[in-house]
Each structure stands twice: as C-alpha cells, then as structure tokens.
Amino acid sequence: MATVAPATPSTPKERDWTKPQAMAIPKEGYFKLQDGRYGPVYPRTPACYGFTLIAKIKPGREDAIRAYGKTIEKAIADLPEALATLKLHYLRWVLFDIGKDTYFMYQGIFDTDFDKYTEDAVALFTKLGVNTTFENLEGFPEDWKTNVPAFVKFVREHQCPSFLEYGEYPFVTADEIKKALKLKAAFADMLDLMQ
C-alpha cells in the first residue's frame, strides 16, 4: 500500500488540449495531501475536477429517486442558469442493484475544486431539491439543511476517487468550450454576411 506518490503530471505546460492525456491516480485519490477547508483536496485531471458518490438507497425508495429526475429536468428547463456557479460539464445519476440492494451513483464533472464552493453547492442543491433525493439514501444526515459539515462528511465518506481519468481535450474548461463555440457561431454569421 505504501507506494511513493509520483509528482502530479498536470503542470500547466503539459496542459495542451490538442494532446489527449490519461492520468493514473493513487488510491487515496490525490498525489500530495493538500488541506482544503473540509478535508483533502482532490486534483484536477485531464477530465477536470469531479466526484463519484456511491450510496445505498433506503429500501423501497427507488421510484421516489427516479421521480426526481423529472423534477430536476423541469427545474433546469425553467431556470437554465440555475447551476452556473458550479461550473459543471456533466452530471450523471445512475441506479443499479447489487444483490437485493439498490445503489445510487452520482457523478459530477466540473471546473472548480469542490471544496472551495461547498457551501454554495449545498445552498443550490437545497434550492433545487437535489438533497431531498439524498434523503432517500442510507446514512444521509437528517439535519443536512442546517448542518453543512455533516452533509460534507456524508459526501466525502461516499466519494470513490477514480484511479484513471482520460481527457480527449485535456484540462479544457466548460467556459473555454462555450467561448470557442460562440466564436465559431460568430464566424459563421460573419461568413454569411460576407456572401
């Protein structure tokens, strides 16, 4: 177990988006222990920052969780900017069975270190009802609305760090992608105008 952690390869110079990159990550989930406000900080990889939470659901709650898919779909349709603060790329919600138990997997990929905006995320999740879904998970703190540290502890205890992450266009942020697409659209418009 006691392997020497290699230096993180993600120095800015190597952040070349034209060169696909893979990164193997030590078992702890980080290369060098770096204190965040709520615990160790996980590194940025070619696939950005991210988390993978896996938790067992309370028996009989599968339908309730599935139903929240629709709730959140509508929330975002009504307010597309709702999650902007989190600088997300993607969220994935998955339910799967192991034996008789059902598990919930929540995977998020984003551009800011989660530790930094933890309270903002909790506030947002509360507003959107994401946490209400979490109430269907075993061990989720009942006082999560007012107890950020307990919420964070639950998240950290259920976080399964990746041991490999890959990026086809490594380290590119969602903002950069959106800017590039905007530029492309502007160019297309310009070419149209020049016809």
Binding site for another protein (CB under 8 A): 12, 34-38, 85, 116, 119-120, 123, 143, 145-149, 175
Question: Is the CB of 61 or the CB of 116 nearer to another protein?
Answer: 116
Residue 112 Cβ vs another protein, minimum distance, rounded to whole Å: 9
Give the 3-state secondary structure percentages of the chain, helix then strand then coil, rounded to 5. 35, 25, 40
Instruction: Determine contact, residues 162/45, Cβ cutoff 8 Å.
Output: yes
Question: Is the CB of 101 or the CB of 157 nearer to another protein?
Answer: 157
Closest CA to 153 of 125, 110, 179, 122: 122
Question: Is the CB of 41 or the CB of 57 nearer to another protein?
Answer: 41
Closest CA to 121 of 89, 154, 87, 94: 87
Question: Is the CB of 12 or the CB of 80 nearer to another protein?
Answer: 12
Give the C-alpha separation, 94 to 96, whole Å: 7
